[in-house]
């Protein structure tokens, strides 16, 4: 069985006066929306290069989103295993 889908991603970047860049990332799967956040701070002694702040903040928002996607997939897999007849879920305890 083949499957195709389209997920939409929106990334907004905001630079504040103190040299902080914030990234707000939204992933819309059509059934779920996840939001990732990232920040980057320019050290006062460094030259402020907005592109570098954008790259750092965006990458951190993507990492945040990736962790959320992994957690969602793990929960979904556990739910599928629990729904299978004759499948026992591990309690995490060993006897």
Fold category of 8-83 in CATH:
Double Stranded RNA Binding Domain (3.30.160)
User: Is the model more confident about 81 or about 49?
Assistant: 49
The pLDDT tens digits for 14-48 are: 999 888 999 999 999 999 999 999 999 998 899 98
Cα–Cα distance measured from residue 4 to residue 74, given in angstroms and rounded to the nearest whole number: 21
The pLDDT tens digits for 40-62 are: 999 889 998 999 999 999 999 99
Cα–Cα distance measured from residue 38 to residue 57, given in angstroms and rounded to the nearest whole number: 5
Cα–Cα distance measured from residue 27 to residue 6, given in angstroms and rounded to the nearest whole number: 11
Find the largest Cα–Cα distance for the chain: 62
Confidence of residue 73 (pLDDT cuts 50, 70, 90): very high
Confidence of residue 88 (pLDDT cuts 50, 70, 90): low
């Amino acid at each position: 069985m083949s499957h195709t889908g389209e997920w939409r991603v929106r990334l907004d970047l905001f630079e504040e006066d103190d040299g902080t860049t914030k990234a707000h990332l939204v992933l819309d799967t059509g059934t779920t929306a996840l939001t990732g956040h990232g920040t980057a701070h320019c050290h006062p002694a460094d030259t402020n290069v907005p592109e570098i702040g954008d790259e750092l903040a965006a990458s951190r928002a993507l990492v945040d989103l990736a962790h959320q996607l992994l957690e969602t997939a793990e929960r979904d897999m556990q739910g599928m295993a629990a729904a299978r007849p004759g499948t026992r879920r591990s309690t995490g305890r060993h006897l």
